[in-house]
Amino acid sequence: MVDLHSLKDGLIVTAFWEARPSEADAVAAIVCEYLPQAQREPRVLAFQIHRSIAEPGRFFFYEVFRDEAGFASHQETPHFKALIVGQALPKLTKRERTQHRFVQAETANRRGP
């Protein structure tokens, strides 16, 4: 297994989805089909999708890519285009994505001037 904290160029993407109330179970079925395909991509280091217990129409994605090129290629895969763009996104009321980098110990311990 890859030590995710040792990746200086790794890219973390988080996403929060809210499904239309009538579409929550359909979205869950789509992401269940999608998840193993995304996890097998060569530049994906970690990929998890979570469904809220209290609000089953809310989903949280945690994705770690080897680099920005890995994220770009992920969005061009047939399964992303068909399942996410083609099927899931039209069933959502909200989608938020953010990109992050790992905090490196040498920079996290530095203090400002």
pLDDT digits (tens, 9 = 90+) for 49-89: 999 999 999 999 999 999 999 999 999 999 999 999 999 99
> Which has the higher per-residue pLDDT, 60 or 5?
60
| 3-state secondary structure at position 13 | strand
Domain carrying residue 70: 8-102
Q: For position 3, what pLDDT does the model report?
A: 67
Residue 77: inside a domain, yes or no?
A: yes
User: What pTM was computed for the model?
Assistant: 0.86
Q: For position 100, what pLDDT does the model report?
A: 94
Q: For position 35, what pLDDT does the model report?
A: 98
Greatest extent of the chain over all pairs of C-alpha atoms, in Å: 53
pLDDT digits (tens, 9 = 90+) for 8-42: 778 999 999 999 999 999 999 999 999 999 999 99
The sign of the dihedral angle between the CA atoms of 64, 65, 68, 71 is negative
Q: For position 30, what pLDDT does the model report?
A: 98
| Counts of helices then strands in the chain (DSSP H, E) | 4, 4
Q: Into how many domains does the chain fold?
A: 1
Residue 109: inside a domain, yes or no?
A: no
Structure tokens at 67: 């680099």
Question: Measured between alpha carbons, how far is 94 from 77 in angstroms, rounded to an integer?
Answer: 22
Residue 18: inside a domain, yes or no?
A: yes
Q: For position 106, what pLDDT does the model report?
A: 60
The CATH number for 77's domain is 3.30.70.100
Residue 109 clears pLDDT 60, i.e. is over it: no
Residue 64: inside a domain, yes or no?
A: yes
Residue 39: inside a domain, yes or no?
A: yes
Residue type, 55: E
Residue 91: inside a domain, yes or no?
A: yes
